[in-house]
Chain A
Amino acid sequence: GQQVMQIPQYQHVQEGEDFTTYCNSSTTLSNIQWYKQRPGGHPVFLIQLVKSGEVKKQKRLTFQFGEAKKNSSLHITATQTTDVGTYFCAGPVIDSNYQLIWGAGTKLIIKP
């Protein structure tokens, strides 16, 4: 069945280091969305990518959508403690405009 795989499951970084999480879909996606869930919080929408090869930036966050629209990445430059949380990618289920299939999330942990 349709799947979205997200790696790694966890990433431990020192504050100031970079962080990257990757999503790979078993099918071509019409778009991909990224969400962030802070510890104890709820998922919050970050961004949506629609075009093949699209790159979008939000301050230190860079989001990419692959040329084949089957993979995506989120890269954070110079992590800060405020970046801590779990990052999820999600793409629409085939033939559905509304239902999303979610990656398992990557938990960003800042080493003390």
Chain B
Amino acid sequence: DSGVTQTPKHLITATGQRVTLRCSPRSGDLSVYWYQQSLDQGLQFLIQYYNGEERAKGNILERFSAQQFPDLHSELNLSSLELGDSALYFCASSVAGGLRSYNEQFFGPGTRLTVL
């Protein structure tokens, strides 16, 4: 158990709908990352938040948005869903403290999104 929690575990919805994925980082971790992993594919970095602020953006679609709340949990919002958005969405967290600390990322179990 990495200490990172994600809900829900599975989500089935229809095209055009909007969903929200939730992530709670490990206690003490300030950075949260969101990744998308399509079937048998690599990890596509979507976005990173650090202590409530957006820190980096990857290949995140305009239909997707995220935020990190004061209690450091994060939500990823996916709207106008398309069939191609079906994937496993991982949240990861890291301590990310200090300029000289290169912190490993701890991944949650993921949310499997199926768009029908």
Contacts and interface: CB of A to CB of B under 8 A. Distances in A.
Do the two chains bind?
yes
Nearest to B104: A45
Given A43-B43, A43-B90, A88-B42, A100 B105 contact: yes
Interface in B50-82: 50, 55-56
Interface of B: 2, 31, 33, 40-43, 45, 48, 50, 55-56, 90, 92, 94, 96, 98-110
Shortest Cβ-Cβ A-B pairs, 10 listed: A45-B104, A42-B107, A104-B42, A98-B96, A99-B56, A31-B102, A43-B107, A105-B42, A102-B43, A98-B31
Contacts of B43: 43, 88, 102, 105
Interface residues of A, number: 25
Contacts, number: 63
30 contacts: A31-B102, A33-B102, A35-B105, A41-B109, A42-B90, A42-B108, A43-B90, A43-B105, A44-B2, A44-B107, A45-B105, A48-B102, A48-B104, A50-B102, A88-B42, A92-B102, A93-B56, A97-B99, A97-B100, A98-B31, A98-B94, A98-B96, A98-B103, A99-B45, A99-B55, A101-B45, A102-B43, A102-B45, A104-B42, A105-B42
A31 B102 CA distance: 8
